[in-house]
């Protein structure tokens, strides 16, 4: 049976690429889509930046037909700004709008945005309702279990968000206080999914790094799909690997060095094309270690690549890596 967000069919057990700041841009999303991601999200976008027409924010509204279905994710602390931002996002014509109630970083959460709103559940519900009422697009939410160990109200919160009209909910199995430390707790995600009052899709997120992880949470908690974040960085193949394993019970062959180099080159090409040479090269630096994780004696090449500002030189180094390893 296919899972739907509103009227949008996203597959029987969809794999979602998590929205990640400075990672989930169009060049990276293109690779993940090519390798099996069912649903994509933009990087999270500041509502204040959107309503002020800030270039950094409006650039993140760029979406392409090959990415569909895709959601634009917004964050903010002011209800009216979030409502107006949703209207702006609607003009970019995504399949849905996603609200970020999960970002744990201080500069976001301490202002009451992202996971910061978990300290004020009534405001969270009110903000969600205003956004749902402001757009004709389906609205979804990504959040965490709670602010800290003593405020894991996610089962009740999920009901209340559903009651004001969201069409799907993604839950990261940590509190804000945990940040990304410790293990994700999937038991409460399962409690939300198995709550008889819930009828919208529930997606789980947190510590999904292997195909075995996916099989375990799928069978144990009955979730509708999984959202994959950090495990996809430098490893866009993870989506097809999961799909192959779920279908056949066998592992898909891991990418060889040539595959990794080709993906990295394509990522770099698209990054330069979308952001320009200077920014495109600079923002790729965080990705090289991930593409070539586990390769012995890669450090010298990594230093050469990240210190080079010459496109031709970087591609030359990548070709050397393909031949040497």
| Preceding peptide of 69 cis, ω within 30° | yes
**CA-based Rg of the chain, rounded to a whole angstrom?**
20
Residue 256 CA: distances (Å) to CA of 18, 172, 241, 293: 25, 31, 14, 12
Give the number of C-alpha atoms closer than 13 A to the C-alpha of residue 287, restricted to the C-beta side: 27
Show the tokens assigned to 42.
């933009």
Instruction: Indicate the SS3 state at residue 98.
Output: strand
Show the tokens assigned to 307.
């210190």
Distance (Å, whole) CA 109 – CA 103: 7
Dihedral, 106, 112, 115, 121 alpha carbons, nearest 10: 160
Q: Given 2, 103, 264, 310, which residue is catalytic?
A: 103
89 is catalytic: no
Residue whose structure tokens are 């430098």:
234
Strands (E) located in the chain: 4-5, 8-9, 15-17, 40-41, 45-46, 70-75, 96-101, 139-144, 168-172, 202-205, 225-228
Instruction: Indicate the SS3 state at residue 243.
Output: helix
Please check whether residue 134 is in contact with residue 86, taking contact to mean a CB–CB distance below 8 angstroms. yes
End-to-end alpha carbon distance in the chain:
44
Distance (Å, whole) CA 262 – CA 304: 18
Instruction: Indicate the SS3 state at residue 303.
Output: helix
Burial 113-147 (b: 16+ CB within 10 A, else e): bbbbbbeebeebbebbbebbebeebbbbbbbbbbb
Question: What residues are labeled active site?
Answer: 103
């Amino acid at each position: 049976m296919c899972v739907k967000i509103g009227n949008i069919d996203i597959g029987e057990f969809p794999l979602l690429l998590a929205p990640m700041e400075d990672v989930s841009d169009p060049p990276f999303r293109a690779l993940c889509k090519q390798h099996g991601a069912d649903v994509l999200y933009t990087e999270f976008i500041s509502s204040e930046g959107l309503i002020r027409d800030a270039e950094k924010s409006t650039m993140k509204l760029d979406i392409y037909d090959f990415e569909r279905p895709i959601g634009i994710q917004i964050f903010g602390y002011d209800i009216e700004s979030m409502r107006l931002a949703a209207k702006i996002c609607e003009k970019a014509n995504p399949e849905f709008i996603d609200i970020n109630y999960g970002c744990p970083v201080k500069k976001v959460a301490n202002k009451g945005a992202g996971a910061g709103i978990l300290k004020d559940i009534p405001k969270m519900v009110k903000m969600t309702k205003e956004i749902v009422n402001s757009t004709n697009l389906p609205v979804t939410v990504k959040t965490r279990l709670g602010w800290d160990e003593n405020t894991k109200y996610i089962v009740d919160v999920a009901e209340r968000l559903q009651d004001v009209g969201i069409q799907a909910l993604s839950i990261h199995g940590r509190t804000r206080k945990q940040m990304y430390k410790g293990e994700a707790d999937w038991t409460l995600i399962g409690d939300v999914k198995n709550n008889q009052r819930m009828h919208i899709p529930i997606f789980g997120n947190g510590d999904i790094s292997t195909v075995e992880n996916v099989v375990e949470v799928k069978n144990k908690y009955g979730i509708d799909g999984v959202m994959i974040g950090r495990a996809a960085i430098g490893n866009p193949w993870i989506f097809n690997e999961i799909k192959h394993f779920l279908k056949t019970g066998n592992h898909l062959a891991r990418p060889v060095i040539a595959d990794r180099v080709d993906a990295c080159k394509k990522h770099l090409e698209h990054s330069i094309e979308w952001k320009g040479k200077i920014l495109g090269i600079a923002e790729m630096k965080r990705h090289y270690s991930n593409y070539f994780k586990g390769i012995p004696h890669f450090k010298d090449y990594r230093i050469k690549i990240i210190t080079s500002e010459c496109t031709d030189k970087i591609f030359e180094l990548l070709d050397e890596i393909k031949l040497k390893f």
